[in-house]
Amino acid sequence: MSGDEPQATTRAGFIGLAGRPNVGKSTLVNAIVGTKVAIISDRPQTTRRASRGVATDLAAGWQLVLVDLPGVQRPRDVLTQRMQRRVEHELDGADAVLFVVNGEQGIGPGDRFIGRHLLAAHPEAPVICAVNKTDRLDPPRTTEVLVEAAELEVVDEVFPVSAKRGTGVGPLVARLAELMPVGPLLYAPEERTDQPSEVHLAELIREQVLRRTREELPHAVEVAVDELAERADGLIEISAQIWVETDSQKAILIGKGGRMVREVGTAARKELERELGAKVFLDLQVRVRERWRRDESLLDRLGID
């Protein structure tokens, strides 16, 4: 190759996701990355850590590092204080902000609050608004919500999407790639997330708990993987603990005759096998850790900083 030939230009950068809880941020990250890097449920506070999903297109010359953040909320304990601090920190370092709103609900006070906050705290980063769940809207309502989103002062551009079905995601990704700074790739092209394996597997187990519990219990549950080992015959053994804060929560999660925890374990094992591409033996225990959401040292060990 001649020294005079132009070098290929790549664009790579960080995109912080902002939005109210339960607007579909994690589903959208998974749709853009092309694989499951963030767990999904209809419970607020599902996302507790800043999880990075990496989408790379070598042919087009770009890499998007999508930082899936907890929903913006008013902190009510040490856990949610840390979650909110993480939102602020990640948005400060973002090259662009992807502001996700729920098209089915329209633009509400919570969205306007976040918009004002982004405008005041992060005025330099371009803000792209994804109006999600448009598959549930008719064309007139879609147009109405898109206009409402465009009227938010902080928003630079608006894209209608259905993260669940994947419609509209292509044009959104193309625009985000254009906004990334010129520079080398930040992660190896084959990488899809920066989460440690044990944390990602624990999150897949917690997802199954969230799908089966109500009231306060989803917020009181955390999962930690204690052991992860592959046997000579290829079977992967995983030992994990589900933490709750009270004996009554433990009783609910175990269920009558152990029915609930067995259902969680069976569903979680199937998810783990899909993720790992191997047979899994899952040893799941339910433990009480009182007030774990207020335990600074424990939250440190969990990586919720």
What domains appear along the chain, each with residue ranges and CATH number? 11-179 (3.40.50.300), 197-302 (3.30.300.20)
Report which listed range, 8-17, 18-27, 94-103, is most confident.
94-103
- 3-class DSSP assignment, residue 199: helix
Distance CA 64, CA 8 (A): 17
Closest by CA to 128, choosing from 178, 86, 77, 198, is 178
Q: What is the mean pLDDT of residues 269-273?
A: 95
Name the more confident of 199 and 131. 131
Is the model's pLDDT at 46 over the cut of 60? no
How far is CA 279 from its chain centroid? 26
pLDDT value of residue 5: 46
Q: Give residue-wise pLDDT tens across range 221-246.
A: 889 899 999 999 999 999 999 989 89
Q: Please, is 76 exposed, middle or buried when counting C-beta atoms within 10 Å of its C-beta (0-12, 13-18, 19+)? A: exposed
How would DSSP label each residue in 93-144?
A: T-SEEEEEEETTT-S-HHHHHHHHHHHHH--SS-EEEEEE-GGGS-HHHHHH
Q: What is the mean pLDDT of residues 286-296?
A: 81
Is the model's pLDDT at 106 over the cut of 60? yes
pLDDT-derived band at 167, boundaries 50, 70, 90: very high
Distance CA 237, CA 230 (A): 6
Q: Using the 8-state DSSP alphabet, how is residue 72 labeled?
A: P
pTM: 0.75
pLDDT-derived band at 1, boundaries 50, 70, 90: very low
pLDDT-derived band at 42, boundaries 50, 70, 90: low
pLDDT value of residue 213: 84
pLDDT value of residue 2: 45
Q: Phi then psi for 123, rounded to 5 degrees?
A: -70, -20
Asked if residues 245 and 286 have their Cβ atoms less than 8 Å apart, the reply is no
Name the more confident of 160 and 118. 160
Distance CA 39, CA 195 (A): 12
Is the model's pLDDT at 6 over the cut of 50? no
pLDDT value of residue 220: 81
CA within 13 Å, CB half, 229: 6
pLDDT value of residue 21: 79
Closest by CA to 37, choosing from 22, 23, 49, is 49
Name the more confident of 174 and 84. 174
Closest by CA to 125, choosing from 92, 153, 157, is 92
Q: What is the mean pLDDT of residues 25-35?
A: 92
Q: What is the mean pLDDT of residues 48-64?
A: 87
pLDDT value of residue 38: 75
- 3-class DSSP assignment, residue 221: coil
Mean pLDDT of the chain: 86
Is the model's pLDDT at 301 over the cut of 90? no
Is the model's pLDDT at 77 over the cut of 60? no
Is the model's pLDDT at 3 over the cut of 60? no
Percent of the chain with pLDDT over 70: 82
Joined together, the tokens standing for residue 51 give: 């999880």
Distance CA 100, CA 67 (A): 13
pLDDT value of residue 236: 96
Query: How would you list the strands of the sheet with 222-230, edge to edge?
Result: 222-230, 236-244, 280-288
pLDDT-derived band at 81, boundaries 50, 70, 90: low
pLDDT value of residue 151: 96
